[in-house]
Amino acid sequence: MQDLLFDFLSKYISLTEDEKNAILSLDIFHSYKKGTILLKEGQKSKESYFVLKGCIRTYYVIDGEEKTTAFYTEMEALTPPCVISKNPSEYYISCLEDNILLVSNSDMEAEVNSKFPRFENLCRILSEELLAKERIDFDAFKTSSPEQRYLNLLQKRPDLIQRVPQHQLASYLGIKPQSLSRLRARILEKKS
């Protein structure tokens, strides 16, 4: 698993052996079973996640109904807003598959950044990329129809179609599961 991480990081910086060893010494590689809740509404947390293998989901529970807001898969990072605000979480994070995650916290990151200042720059670059991606995704969601959202998902994240239960996909797209079934049928009909 460490090779997956180092290959990903090598796209941004080449790590020295000391830097690689510093990362490995942190004991940040954790396995979680499908169904594990990593964070509950109302909990406080200092933990950030980076998915090496698997899929995690963020969702709110509103009037007893789950509202999925995001899926994170391989080589994607998530720092819950409650980590920054130091307030209780407003949403849940759960494992949709068996996962291998990097789990870090701000204390750990500060320690590594003080020993290896290049990591702070790397974290800034990754944060900027993530912020830009999330802004683009948000704008696309707000300006598109459910059908356009689904077609966009097929184009940009086709793996989710096989990995995620239909009711969670529908929630993510902002529609009911029955509407997603009709939408899929309509799209298939157009293709034939």
Question: Per DSSP, what are the bridge partners of residue 47?
Answer: 105
pLDDT band for position 26 (cuts 50, 70, 90): confident
| pLDDT (mean) for 139-161 | 93
Q: Is pLDDT of 191 > 90?
A: no
Residue 182 lies in a domain: no
How deeply is 56 buried, as exposed, middle or buried, from its count of CB atoms within 10 A (0-12, 13-18, 19+)? Answer: buried
Residue 158 lies in a domain: no
Number of domains the chain contains: 1
Q: Is pLDDT of 192 > 80?
A: no
Neighbour tally for 119: CB within 10 Å? 19
Tell me if residue 133 falls in helix, strand or coil: helix
Residues with Cβ within 8 Å of 108's Cβ and at least 6 positions away in sequence, in order, are 26, 28
Residue 44 lies in a domain: yes
Q: What is the pLDDT of residue 175?
A: 95
* Containing structural domain, residue 27: 2-118
Residue 157 lies in a domain: no
At 45, which CATH number? 2.60.120.10
Residue 129 lies in a domain: no
Residue 187 lies in a domain: no
Q: pTM value?
A: 0.89
pLDDT tens per residue across span 124-141: 888 899 899 999 999 999
Give me the chain's average pLDDT, please.
Answer: 92
Q: Is pLDDT of 119 > 90?
A: no
pLDDT tens per residue across span 63-105: 999 999 999 999 999 999 999 999 999 999 999 999 999 999 9
Residue 84 lies in a domain: yes
Residue 37 lies in a domain: yes
